Every structure is written in C-alpha cells, then in structure tokens.
Structure 1
Amino acid sequence: MSVIFSSLQWALFILMSSVVIPVAIASSYGLDAISTVEFVQRTLFVLGIAGILQALFGHRLPVQEGPAGLWWGVFSLYAGLGSVLFGSQLETLRVLQYAFLLSGVIFIVLSVLGLVKKLARLFTPTVVGIYLILMVAQLSGSFLQGMFGLSGDSKVVDGKVLLLSFIIVILSYGFMKLPRVGHYSVLFSIIFGWILFAVFGLSKPVTMVNSFIKLPEVFAFGSPRIEANMIIMVIFITLLLLANMLATVSVVQQVLECHHVPVEKDRLKQTGIISGINQLLAGFFSAIGAVPVSGSAGFIETSKITSKKPFIIGSLLIVAISLFPPVTSFVAAIPEAVGYAAIFPVFASIISLALQEFEGVENKGHVFQVVGISLFAGIGVMFIPSQAFSAMPPTLVSVLSNGLVFGAIIAVITEAVLTKMEKKQGETAK
C-alpha cells in the first residue's frame, strides 16, 4: 500500500510542477483548448518517458524530469519575435522542434567527448548552494502569484484564493508532522485543496475532448524547419541545460546519501546521453525539452521517499495519463493555486539544502563573498522587465533575462577567480 501512495504522490508532484508551463506556452502561441490539451499530453508523455530512461539508464536516481525553464524562456522569447522572424506562430513552433533535435545531438556529442565530467568540476558545493537559492528565488514569484490568484488574465489579488492557499500550506505542513501520513503530505494536500476550491466555486472547468485514447502525434506542428541562425543559441542553451543537470544530480545524490541510500556517482556520461535522447524526444513529439528538476531533492527530503521504485511507477502513471485525453484534461483542471500551495513546503525546504552545502565549506569568508556577489547579481536581474532586452541578440537575452542562469554563471566565474587568487597569495606567502 505504501508503494501505491508513494507512486501516486510522485505522479501528482510531477503533474503539479509540469502542467503550468505547457498551458502557459500554448496560450502564448494562441493554441485552442483542444490543441492545448494535446500539447500538455505530448509534454507529459515525454516527461514520463524521460524520467524512466534516466532512472534506468542515466543517473539511476529518483529525479523528476520537468519542462526546462530555459526552454520556456526560449518559447516566450519567440512568441513575440517568431512571427517577424519566421512568418507565423506555427512556423516558429516548427523551428523550435528543430532546436530540440539539434540540442539533443549536441548533448550526446558533448557527453561522448567527456565534456560533462569537465563541467562537473565547476559545480563546487558553493556554486550548487547558490544555484538552489536562485532557483527558489526565481520560482517564488510564480508560486506566490498563483497562490494570490494572479494566474491567467487576473491582475487583482483574489482574497478567497489567497485564504484557501494559506489553509492548504498549513494543512501540508500539518500532514508532514503526522506519523503515518507525513510521507504523503503532497498527495493529501492536493486532494483536500482541490475539494476546498470546488466547495468555494473556484475549481477550473474541464475541457471536453473528442477521443478517449490518443497516441502522441509525431511532429504535430509539421516537419522541423531548419534555421542556421538558431545554432549558436541552441549550443549555449544546451551548455546551460548541462549545468542545470549537473547541479540537480549533485544535490539529489547528497540528499540520498544523508538518508544512507547508496548512489552511483560515475554516471555523468550516461546521464548526458540520456538527456540528449530526452531532447530528441521533445523535438520528435512536439513537446517541451525535459531537464532534471532540483525540486526533486526537496521532495525526497520532505516525503522521505528515497526508493526508486515509486518514482518509476509514478512516471509510468504520467505516461498512462498522457495517453487518455479525458484524464489529461481532468488533471490539467487542478487549480494552479492548489498545486503551488501543496508543494510550497517542498520547494521551501530547498533553502535548507542550500545552507547545508555552505556548511561543508571550510573557508566561510570565501563562501560569503561568492554568495553575496552571485545573489546580488542574479536576484537583481529577476527584477528587470523582459521587454528591456528586446533589442539584444536572442543568445544574450537567454542569459541576461534569466536570473538563475546569470547568477549561476557569476557564481562559477567568481568562485574560480577567488580560488585562483587565494592560491597565488598562498604561494607568495611561502
């Protein structure tokens, strides 16, 4: 019974942290209700398969594969520029299919050449800790907007949504403290939260679909459209996705080790190759590129579900859900506020994981310096409107408009420079 509940909780966690992005992208590209459900279906199918492939053949860890925030940024960027550059929104989506396929090939080539292991050396405990804090800072805006009722077209705080979201967060923390149900706090919080929203008339309508079962369509937007001017940006995005993958795998390994779960650490090459295959799947099935989600570490820490089996079953459930449009439409109707409130404790706990990373470093003065510079720069960028970068090349925009990416790059550079300076000072002193 515990495996069933744990698997359901993994499935719901994957859903709650994955459904919002494809719905938002579909809206920005003007897809109708049926096309939106199909886009969500294909994305869930790819995410479920991606998680299973990584758990079995890649890093072999229980790590959720979610829609990459970087790719979301690319979708958002070209939602405005695409019609001018490529002629229409549909043509833009064909170009983005090509971008995923190209990224997949680059991922595999870099992994085979051993570049992943070289990049891994840059991700010290200090850099990983900064990355986690920046990730939570970036996500906190979306979480609180959703919990304040500001999702969709709403521009005014909804008092009822805010109050019920607060109740769900309290319930979630309360469930965590209960001896027998603490491991399933996300599952029970979503169920109770959805019921609460339905009672107060705040639940979303379920989109009616035409078919009971539907296999994911290949190249749903048409054949990929090759654009040479996308190559540089895709290479850069792929490198950033590699960095995200390394940071996530590192922190999940550490959480599992704290719970005395043995992990295989020398699997970066396999992880990179599978990540490349997952990008290829996204392009092939006209979905969103997947990336290991750092929130998985918070989920494991909060739920104490360290076994890989429930994760694999949960991912299989996601694949099954994606094949049945009525089921996909139903789960996509879970109010965003319920999902955000239910997994609020999971992502809040990531801050403590970041602080634990800093505790393991001996030179605290060095750590504080790197943290101060990186967080100041990364969080500061998050407050700059995306429109401010409209006149810049897309490759630069993907870095400068993303506080997580910008701050992480600053952290890597600052850490390397300070370490080199300290070594020189040490040699001079001798």
Structure 2
Amino acid sequence: MTKQQEHLRTPNVKQFSSSVLAGIQWFFFLFTNTVVVPLSIGHNFQLTPEAIATSMQHSFLLTGAVCILQAICGHRYAVMDGPSGLWWGLTLSLTVSASSAGMSLERVGGGLTAGFILAGLTMAILGWMGASHVLQKLFTPMVKSAMLFLLTIQLTMNFFKGMIGYTEFGTFNLPVAALSILIAVLVAWIQLKGRGKLANYAILIGIIAGWIAYRILIPGHQSTQTQAVGEFFTFFPWGTPKWEPGIVITAFFVGLVNMTNSITTLGAVEKMYGVQTTVQQYKRSYGWTGLFTVIAACVGVIPFGAFASSIGFLESTRILRRSAFILGAGLLCMLGLMPMLTSFFAQMPPSVGSAVLFVAYLQMFGTAIRTLEGTVFNSKTIYRIALPILTGVAIMNISAEAFQGLPIYLIPMISNGLVIGVVISLVLESTVKWSNLDNSAKPSKAA
C-alpha cells in the first residue's frame, strides 16, 4: 500500500492521538469559514439575536457532521463541506433586493427554503444517477483552472477587506489593518522558513497569536458577534416553504452550479493524495451533500457544498490525515451543542481569521496554475483562459447597485463574476475547436 493510499484508511488510535494539534487547526479553519455566514444571513432576515445564535449552533453542528460523514463514508478525503458561497451570495442578494422588488422577507425566505430543498433532493438523485460523469466531461482542466483562478481572486478579495476592517462606507481601520498585516506576515514567514512540522501549524499559530495580540493591542475594538443564547430546535426561521417561481427556479439553478464545486475540488485534491476519485465516491459525496442541504434549508442554514478553499489549506499545511480532519469536525460539532462555548468562540475578531485565511488561500493560485501545466497558448488560444477570468474579475469589481435595474431573480447570477466566468469557459470549451487554432500560429508557453 502506497503512502498516499494510507491517508484513505480509517484512522487508528495512535494516528488520532498524534493529530491533536492538526485537529485543532482544522477546527479553527472550519470555524472561521462558518461563523460569519449565519451572522450575515440573520441580520439580513432581521432575526432576533436569539434566532441568530440558534442558527449559528445549527451551522456548526451540521457542518461538523457532514464533514465527518464525508470523510468516513463519502468522498473519504480531508475536504470541508460547508455553507456554499454561491448560495450565500444568492441569499444575501435576494434579501437586500426584496424591498425594492416589493417582496417581504418572509416571501423571499419561504421561496429560498423551497428552492434549497428541491435543489438538495435533485443533487442527491443526480449524484446517484452518475451525473458526476457528465460534469467531469464538461469540466475540462481549462474550466477547472478558470474556476480556481476566479475563486482564489474572489476569496482573497473578501478576506483582504476583512483583515483591514474595510467598511461599507469605503474606509478601513488603520490599527486593525496594521495588526492583520503583521499576522499575515507571521503566518507566511512560518510557512516559508519554519522547520520540521512547525510550518504545518502556521495557521493555528497565527490564529492564537493574532487573537491574543488583538485583545491586548486593540481593546477598544471588540467583536460584534452576538452573545445571545436561543432555543436549539427551530424550524423554517426564514419562513415556511412557498412556491415563488422566480426564487425557487433561481435557487434550483444555483444548486446545479454548486454541484460543480465537487468536481473542481475533488479533482484537485486527489492529486495530493495520489489516487483517483471513483464514481462511487462521487455518488456518496453528492448523496451526503444533498441530504444535508435539505436539512439545512429546514433549520435556516445556508446549504452545503464542497469547499475548494480546502485546497489552499491542504497545500499550506501538508496535513492530509483524515484523523486530524475528523477531530476538527468533531470539535465543531461539540461547539454547536454548547451555546455558551459558541458565544465565546464567536468573539474571535473577524480580522484575525481573515488575515490567516488570506495567506492560506494564496496556495489555491498555485493549484490553478498547475492545472494548466503542459498547455501552450498563442495570440488566439489565449482567449480560452483570458476571456472567462478577466470578464469574471471585471464583474466582481462592479458595485452591486449597478445591477439593481435587472429583475430580482437575475441579479444573483448576472452580478456573480465567478458564475459568469465559469459559464463563459464552459461555452468556449464546448463550442470552439481550440486544436485547430493551436496549429494556426506558432505557440508560446504560458507564463
């Protein structure tokens, strides 16, 4: 059995005990990628602090549970399944646009809930029917690379704004920004210069040191996280499922697009493990993600998807053991079951988490480049990678207000640079015979 294949074996007690630090590091990664989502959604739906606290508990519990199940009997990799960025963006966009469209938040929430449930069921069914085989054909290395480039740019832009304390008024907090930059430099320095296993725990060191430094150096800028404790079992806090055709269809379409995350993410991660993902692994992965998407919709949590950002984390830490990942996910589950503990960890300054993740996600850029290894471009074929990426980046830099003239159901899709970029890449790869253009001019290697 090869070393890479050993990573896929069920972890034993000895491996588990040696993965405690790595598990804690995974816990903070899962936590920082989850905590902001229920807060932003709760505020947009104008939920009470107690309802937001309950939603946060549900998010931690479900995220931890689906990660454990995926690692043990799903795709069987140390890859996070968490609140999907596509569905998160869709929900934020629709709630912001609700008043201008003459719709109540309850109607929007009910339509989203119905759409998420339908999308979750469809994902599970299509996954078991072998839809991954079709998606793998559509998502060529060029499309995967375009998606990874755009995802890296989108994430690093968001986390850079978070680490400097960027506000909706176009200003930033200088003390917070200075400390965040120091934290980012520390993490990067440990990764580049750290010896032995020290470099593997750069993210954990950065979070702990940054949190302590923040409390000491910036006492006047406390976290705005809620400390309320709500009821644990609440159903349909956004509104009971309603048939709102536009919202349901849009949510359903975003769910289909969200399925492509698994193709891109698992396709990149399998290279680190030195194995090839089987059809059965894809089927089980879609099955669990679809099931938890339905559960998430019922309890007011953003539905799930494979996190391509896990690629950057794995590249940074080089810790592929599932035992560490399962431990971190288990700790997140425990956090979801302990309201007071949830309130404590929710006080972690967002800028600290953003600074650390900004460095971790830089590794995704390298993964996107490696996806193109062996590909050459000339003055014509460069369009197949430049057009989708630069168009997507251009849309990302357009203010959301610029799209308000469009129908409310189209705004989340048209204003999403990642989605538009991937769609353009899919169209180009499906309609243009690039091999003919390769021969029409002398190619030069891509930089």
Q: TM-score, normalised by structure 2?
A: 0.87
* Among 174, 180, 197, the residue aligned to 1:165: 180
Change (3 A) 1:108 1:210: closer
- 1:47-72 deviation line (CA, Å, top 9, x unaligned): 11221222223211111112111111
Matches within 5 A, 1:99-114: 99-114=115-130
Deviates more, 1:193-202 or 1:171-180: 171-180
Q: CA deviation at 1:181?
A: 2.0
- 2:47 is aligned to 31
Change (3 A) 1:370 1:286: same
* Among 284, 297, 302, the residue aligned to 1:283: 297
C-alpha separation in 1, matches of 2:22 and 2:28: 10
Find out whether 1:128 has 2:144 as its counterpart: yes
Q: How many residues align?
A: 418
Find out whether 1:219 has 2:236 as its counterpart: yes
Aligned-pair Cα RMSD in Å: 2.4
Give the letter for the 1:27 counterpart.
Answer: H
* Among 296, 311, 323, the residue aligned to 1:297: 311
* Among 228, 252, 265, the residue aligned to 1:209: 228
Q: CA deviation at 1:304?
A: 0.9
Matches within 5 A, 1:412-427: 412-419=426-433, 422=436
Give the letter for the 1:19 counterpart.
Answer: V
- 1:95 is aligned to 111
C-alpha separation in 2, matches of 1:59 and 1:425: 40
Q: CA deviation at 1:420?
A: 6.2
C-alpha separation in 1, matches of 2:232 and 2:87: 24
* Among 309, 312, 327, the residue aligned to 2:323: 309
Q: CA deviation at 1:241?
A: 0.4
Give the letter for the 1:147 counterpart.
Answer: M
Give the unaligned 5+ runs of structure 1. none
User: In the alignment, is the contact (CA less than 8 A) between 1:57 and 1:274 conserved in 2?
Assistant: no
- 2:207 is aligned to 190
* Among 243, 265, 271, the residue aligned to 1:248: 265
* Among 164, 177, 199, the residue aligned to 2:216: 199
C-alpha separation in 2, matches of 1:379 and 1:423: 25
Find out whether 1:408 has 2:422 as its counterpart: yes
Q: CA deviation at 1:190?
A: 0.5
User: In the alignment, is the contact (CA less than 8 A) between 1:86 and 1:92 conserved in 2?
Assistant: no
User: In the alignment, is the contact (CA less than 8 A) between 1:184 and 1:303 conserved in 2?
Assistant: yes
Secondary structure, aligned partner of 2:19: helix
User: In the alignment, is the contact (CA less than 8 A) between 2:87 and 2:251 conserved in 1?
Assistant: no
Q: TM-score, normalised by structure 1?
A: 0.90
Deviates more, 1:170-179 or 1:310-319: 170-179
C-alpha separation in 2, matches of 1:411 and 1:248: 17
- 1:115-146 deviation line (CA, Å, top 9, x unaligned): 23101111122211111110111122211111
Q: CA deviation at 1:192?
A: 0.5
Give the letter for the 2:201 counterpart.
Answer: Y
Give the unaligned 5+ runs of structure 2. 1-16, 441-447
Secondary structure, aligned partner of 1:49: helix
Find out whether 1:51 has 2:64 as its counterpart: no
Matches within 5 A, 1:4-83: 4-83=20-99
* Among 342, 365, 369, the residue aligned to 1:351: 365
User: In the alignment, is the contact (CA less than 8 A) between 1:100 and 1:283 conserved in 2?
Assistant: yes
